[in-house]
Amino acid sequence: MPEKKLFLPIALLWLFSLVHGSPAVKITPGANILVITLDTTRADRIGIYGYQPGQTPNIDAIARKGVRFENAYTPVPLTLPAHCSLFTGDIPLAHGVRNNGRYRLPAQSDTLAEILQRRGFTTAAFVSSFTLESRFGLDQGFAVYNDNLPVKKGQVKTYSSERTADLVFADFAAWFENHCREDKNKKFFAWVHFFDPHMPYTPPEPFKTLFQQNPYDGEIAFMDVYIGKIMALLEEKQVLANTLTVIVGDHGEAFGEHGEFGHMMFCYEENLRVPLVFYAPGRLPENKSIADRANLVDVMPTILDFLAIPIQPVPGHVPGPEPSGISLLPLIAGAAAKERTFYIESVFPAEALGCAPVKGLIKGEYKFIDLPHPELYHLATDPGEKENLFFKQNAVARQLKQTLAQLIKQYEPPIGQPGRELSAEEERKLKSLGYFSFSSKNANAANLPDPKEKIGSLTEFVVGSRLKGEGKTNEAIVYFNRAIELNPTFSWPYSMLAQAYLESGKIEGALDVLKKGIAQNPGEYQLKIDYALLLKKQARWDEAIEILKELPRQEGGIVDVGPEVYYILGDLYSEKGDAANAISNYRPAALAEPENFVIKQKLVYLLHQSQKYPEALEIYRDLEKATPGDTGLLLNMAILYEQIKKYDLSKTYYIKLLAQNPAPPVRVYYNYALLLAKTGDFQEAAKQIQRFIDNYPADDSLKHTAREYLEKWESAN
Ligand SMILES: [Zn+2]
């Protein structure tokens, strides 16, 4: 066991910048904070950053009234780790979140939201992609964490769950209107995350037609409209004048410059450079462009500095050996920049493709990337990173390699932090359970292939996914097969290939592909889930359960798919007729996705059936708040209250039901009549049973019984 490292409190003391009194920057402790994050948005696709073909009038206008950083970098081209860096002011090595899914921001992290909440700010977040769902830990400190992503009926959220700018804006606007109604003068910190520019590029009209040649620009244009609406709303409520707005990208997007399409694999400029704009009317300079490099990790210290909040060390929280982020206010006020070293990384190639991880540094005029085939670029003269100077300027490269190694060594993760290396014993244990572990794929980094050699498999996968999305299933199959051929330890193409086979009605082919995929990648949960779902389709419940039932038990290991696995297990047991086990699996799924009514409906149905009345009632009440007029729900509540002999309440629910739905399913009259008879109200009971008789179409024993009741109750009157 590695020795537990002691961090000194100095780690968190960002130096208070000396801009107080500077005419250009007015420190404003009472300001609101609005952070808008633009997923997958390259700086060089924004008008104010010099791009002509796009359409970003709103971002441009805000930047013209504020300060923009021309050379802002993300430390990591992955959504979750990048946002963790943004909101902790530290690099992935420090906050511990290295990839999307599976990692969760540790509770000990002190986020911007937590700091501002402690200072009395109302906090609210509105996110648009599954990768930022509350289960991944960024909800810390947010009183409202709105991750209401639309899911298809009968499903739980998955990796592809996302929402468009119009939907996230609507939720933000509703919250904001309410905030202003309650107390407009209460300080707030709001975060709105737009996901639209992410693949696949499918802007709605008119941007679909306008940007036929470049739908990525169309997505940015669509998002820009809603940025404008946010600003208009703040202005309308007269809140804008007292708000610091920060617009920032989480990472860029590659279009084949270095072989990648997308953004997860490499750390070239196209993956890392993002827009970064600060706007606070009358408090920050107008239309100021700053060429000095800035980093996502600087945003939090800058905001705190602007609010005059000194950073205090918080006991028990996870700091890095030295703060990564600095306040940018001195630069904004006109101070000269100091030379900084930016750490950059992507462990995605290691964790998803079995390659060496990408790690590197940006320092002075150079970028160094440490890989089996290492790279050195002179950014000042070669911003396109075309000429690798590793051998030509080997002394520089060696120096940077050493600096990088020292930096990484400082961050050796303490026990308990996600992403730490496993001990041999832990590794064996996990392997015996069939679990994936990060070190198993990159145990021997020296022998791993360079991601440059495996980018082909990712590209084939990306093209295949696009074709499949366009309905060209047969063409897509060719690409997925090629991706697997190029890199059998890349698991995603197996999933997509199986889906493609399934769409073509070849279920046996799909099963075969997944079996092969699991054999090659025994630790990949998603392949097992896909396989179990196919078995479920064939009513092979026990086999499916066998595959899934151990998966969720791995604490913290499957943050991303845990609820999905529980949900599928619930379905499997339910279909099999095992209500007790179905309930015990639906419960944690419902807990993880409290806003998902389908899970709750399935769970409550079984609880009610199994006579677990108090728990069922609690969920019914919850559902009633969300769908107050639902006939089935009101009927079930009426029945349950009758079962627990609360006849008055039962009656209330029948009355509600009939008020909501004047033509309910005919059985409602029958049930209601019996309840009324139980309470001695034979007159009303007779009225309801008459309705049943009038509306019930068949002439069977039920109708016969009803007539007998009617006779009995009429004579009782
Ligand atoms: Zn992203």
Cα 80 to averaged position of ligand 1 atoms, centre (Å): 7
Cα 548 to averaged position of ligand 1 atoms, centre (Å): 29
Rounded Cα gap, residues 178 and 99, in angstroms: 35
Strands 375-378 and 366-370: antiparallel
Cα 79 to averaged position of ligand 1 atoms, centre (Å): 3
Are residues 284 and 147 part of one domain? yes
553 CB neighbour count, 10 Å cutoff: 12
Cα 378 to averaged position of ligand 1 atoms, centre (Å): 27
Cα 253 to averaged position of ligand 1 atoms, centre (Å): 9
CATH number at residue 496: 1.25.40.10
Are residues 321 and 199 part of one domain? yes
Nearest alpha-carbon partner for 85 in 421, 437, 342? 342
Rounded Cα gap, residues 163 and 503, in angstroms: 24
Cα 45 to averaged position of ligand 1 atoms, centre (Å): 16
Query: Which pLDDT does position 441 carry in this prediction?
Result: 40
- Answer yes or no: is 391 within a domain: no
Are residues 463 and 325 part of one domain? no
Cα 591 to averaged position of ligand 1 atoms, centre (Å): 26
Cα 190 to averaged position of ligand 1 atoms, centre (Å): 18
Read off the tokens for 27: 């420190």
Query: Which pLDDT does position 8 carry in this prediction?
Result: 35
Cα 39 to averaged position of ligand 1 atoms, centre (Å): 4
Measure the CA dihedral 415/416/421/427, to 10°. Answer: 110
- For the segment 210-230, what is each residue's pLDDT rounded down to a tens digit? 999 999 999 999 999 999 999
Residue where a domain stops, chosen among 466, 493, 522: 522
**What type of residue is 603?**
L
Query: Which pLDDT does position 20 carry in this prediction?
Result: 52
Are residues 176 and 46 part of one domain? yes
Read off the tokens for 281: 């009317």
Are residues 201 and 75 part of one domain? yes
- For the segment 297-355, what is each residue's pLDDT rounded down to a tens digit? 999 999 999 999 986 655 544 455 566 889 999 999 999 998 899 999 999 999 889 99
Cα 199 to averaged position of ligand 1 atoms, centre (Å): 10
Query: Which pLDDT does position 415 carry in this prediction?
Result: 43
Are residues 455 and 322 part of one domain? no
- Answer yes or no: is 175 within a domain: yes
CB 17 within 8 Å of CB 330: yes
- Domain containing residue 679: 666-717
CB 397 within 8 Å of CB 368: yes
- Answer yes or no: is 527 within a domain: no
Query: Which pLDDT does position 314 carry in this prediction?
Result: 52
Cα 58 to averaged position of ligand 1 atoms, centre (Å): 21
For 75-143, where are the alpha helices, taking DSSP H only? 79-88, 92-95, 112-118
Cα 264 to averaged position of ligand 1 atoms, centre (Å): 9
Cα 207 to averaged position of ligand 1 atoms, centre (Å): 21
Cα 293 to averaged position of ligand 1 atoms, centre (Å): 21
- Answer yes or no: is 543 within a domain: no
Query: Which pLDDT does position 436 carry in this prediction?
Result: 36
Cα 345 to averaged position of ligand 1 atoms, centre (Å): 15
Read off the tokens for 493: 């193409």
Tell me how far the alpha carbon of residue 703 is from its chain's centroid.
54
Cα 645 to averaged position of ligand 1 atoms, centre (Å): 54
- Answer yes or no: is 1 within a domain: no
Cα 129 to averaged position of ligand 1 atoms, centre (Å): 9
Secondary element (H or E) of residue 563: helix 562-576
CATH number at residue 219: 3.40.720.10
Are residues 468 and 326 part of one domain? no
Query: Which pLDDT does position 592 carry in this prediction?
Result: 83
Query: Which pLDDT does position 320 carry in this prediction?
Result: 53
| Mean pLDDT for the chain overall | 89
Residue where a domain stops, chosen among 507, 522, 537: 522
Cα 237 to averaged position of ligand 1 atoms, centre (Å): 30
Cα 203 to averaged position of ligand 1 atoms, centre (Å): 17
Positions of the chain with pLDDT under 50? 1-16, 18, 316-318, 414-444, 555-557
- Answer yes or no: is 553 within a domain: no
Query: Which pLDDT does position 105 carry in this prediction?
Result: 92
Cα 482 to averaged position of ligand 1 atoms, centre (Å): 27
Tell me the Cα Rg of the chain: 29
Per residue, the 3-state secondary structure of 614-674, as one string, reads HHHHHHHHHHHHHCCCCHHHHHHHHHHHHHCCCHHHHHHHHHHHHHHCCCCCCHHHHHHHH
Cα 496 to averaged position of ligand 1 atoms, centre (Å): 21
- For the segment 411-470, what is each residue's pLDDT rounded down to a tens digit? 865 444 444 444 444 444 444 333 333 433 444 456 899 999 999 999 999 999 999 989
Cα 164 to averaged position of ligand 1 atoms, centre (Å): 14
Are residues 334 and 463 part of one domain? no
- Total domains in the chain come to 3
**What type of residue is 245?**
T
Cα 197 to averaged position of ligand 1 atoms, centre (Å): 9
- Answer yes or no: is 274 within a domain: yes
- Answer yes or no: is 270 within a domain: yes
Rounded Cα gap, residues 68 and 83, in angstroms: 19
Nearest alpha-carbon partner for 330 in 12, 10, 27, 13? 27
Cα 31 to averaged position of ligand 1 atoms, centre (Å): 28
C-alpha separations of 153 from 537, 598, 705, 716 in Å? 17, 7, 38, 48
Residue where a domain stops, chosen among 307, 338, 369: 338
Are residues 138 and 17 part of one domain? yes
Cα 208 to averaged position of ligand 1 atoms, centre (Å): 22
DSSP codes joined into one string, 191-222: EEEE-TTSSS--PPTTHHHHTTT-HHHHHHHH
